Amino acid sequence: MRYVIVFFLGIVFFLTRQAVAQGAIRINEFLIEPTPQQVEIINIGTESADISGWYIDDSGGATYYTIPPLNILYPNSCLVFSGDFNLNKSSADTVRLLRSTDVIDSFSYKSSSGSGIAYLRLPDGTNNWTTGSANLGLFNESGASCIITPTLTPTPTSVPTQTPIPSLTFTPVPTVSSTLTPTITPTSYQNIYISEAMVNPPSGENEWIELFNNNDYSVSLINWYIDDIENGGSSPKLFSLDIPTKSYGVIDLSSPMFNNTGDSVRLLDFNKNHIDDFEYASTTQGKTFGRISYDSDEFCLQDPSKNQPNNSCINPILTHQPTPTKVPTPSKIPTPPNLSATAVTNRLIPSASIYRYINTNMNSWNNVIREGDVLGASRRNTIKTYNRLIHPLLFLSFSYSLLTIFSLFLRMKIRYEKNR
């Protein structure tokens, strides 16, 4: 029974070491074009791993690339494989490393980053993906070779003894010491700012966003997002980035995202909560929008200063508003005289006097109206229309008064003749 337990512990130890070794194998860099396509695989662990017979594939399909035999991946080293991995150039796809049906590592992209431009991890083996000139077979951070080609010494095949249960002495299972990068829980930070944005790059170059860590400690922005105007239709761009204390970090976008005629640049954390943003109405090709101060939200057009303190503004900032022109207040129209109050005083006025009085006051009223013209709009036509109506009426009234007086004289004469 003791031998069975020891044998079982040996198997567990072996399987544990194998799992640890597989967990340290990563896709470190891949180049989509030109053909043949290339994939670099790195071992960031402390144990060698035999990746013979593993597969390199895209997001699906019936064909895949099988890694040839005798491909041992030593600690802190890489291997480069060339072939047709069926990676899409003009549409989204995923590069995958598989052991049988188990997915060991994968990375999804929107489209090819361009001829000679590779997707790569920086620093090597971390969760931060970016794009840059292809340097397969070299460490992305230092540029030194990462391929180890040891001299193989053939080992004679040993003939196992026929002892049913060999007498083996096992030491206790040691604690496995792994140097794997620990799983980092995504975190939201304050004082992370958009420092500069290239939204209209020169022809053939990519858009990029520069962030600034204004904290007194380093930050790891795991699974954060860059987005344009809210609900604008395009999907937010996922990224992961480590930024040291009071330093800059840059996200290179593999495909265009921002409009040249006006848009928003937004920074979101891993839960897509708003962290920082700014808006612009127009762009100039090859120029960036840079933050003027981290104490304000003002940006201006600048010459690019990628991973460096921002340059001065190209255009001056409007610091005042023009004084509006005052519109003159129209003059007040005088109140016309109350004709009725002075025309009649509870006594009979002869018709000729009424005519003279009204005519005189109408002339005075005409003068008032002419003096009260406002902004070129005159009332003279209204007064003339009024005069054309009132004059015939006054004439009829005057005629009627004369007829009445004549009728009285005629009656008096008739009575006088009768009394005689």
β partners of residue 230: none
**C-alpha to C-alpha distance for 199 and 350, rounded to whole angstroms:** 92
Query: Is 196 exposed, middle or buried, given 0-12, 13-18 or 19+ CB atoms closer than 10 A?
Result: buried
Per cent of the chain over pLDDT 90 is 48
Distances (CA, A) of 336 to 278, 332, 380: 62, 12, 14
- Whether residue 351 has pLDDT greater than 50: no
CA 362 from chain center: how many Å? 72
d(CA 181, CA 183): 7
Domains 2-133 and 192-302 share a fold: yes
User: Residue 353 corresponds to which tokens in the numbers above?
Assistant: 């006097």
User: For residue 407, what pLDDT is reported?
Assistant: 84
Q: What is the pLDDT of residue 411?
A: 82
**Per-residue pLDDT at 360:** 54
Pairing mode of beta strands 37-43, 77-83: antiparallel
pLDDT tens for residues 136-191? 999 998 989 999 876 555 555 555 555 565 555 555 555 545 454 555 678 999 99
Comparing 321 with 78, which gets the higher pLDDT? 78
Which CATH fold topology does 192-302 show? Immunoglobulin-like (2.60.40)
- Domain range list for the chain: 2-133, 192-302, 350-365+379-420
Q: What is the pLDDT of residues 312-350, one digit of tens each?
A: 999 754 433 444 544 455 544 444 444 443 333 333 334
What DSSP element (H or E) covers 275? strand 274-280
* Residue 196: predicted pLDDT: 96
Secondary-structure percent of the chain, ordered helix, strand, coil, rounded to 5: 20, 25, 50
The full length of the chain comes to: 420
Q: Classify residue 275 by burial, with Cβ atoms within 10 Å: 0-12, 13-18, 19+.
A: buried
Contacts of the segment 281-287: beta carbons below 8 A, 24+ positions apart: 283/199, 283/200, 284/200, 285/200, 285/201, 285/202, 285/260, 286/200, 286/201, 286/202, 287/200, 287/314
Mean pLDDT of 294-307: 92
Report whether pLDDT(107) > 70.
yes
CATH of the domain spanning 2-133: 2.60.40.1260
pLDDT digits (tens, 9 = 90+) for 245-289: 999 999 999 999 999 999 999 999 999 999 999 999 999 999 999
The closest of 180, 196, 171, 207 to 42, measured between CA atoms, is: 180
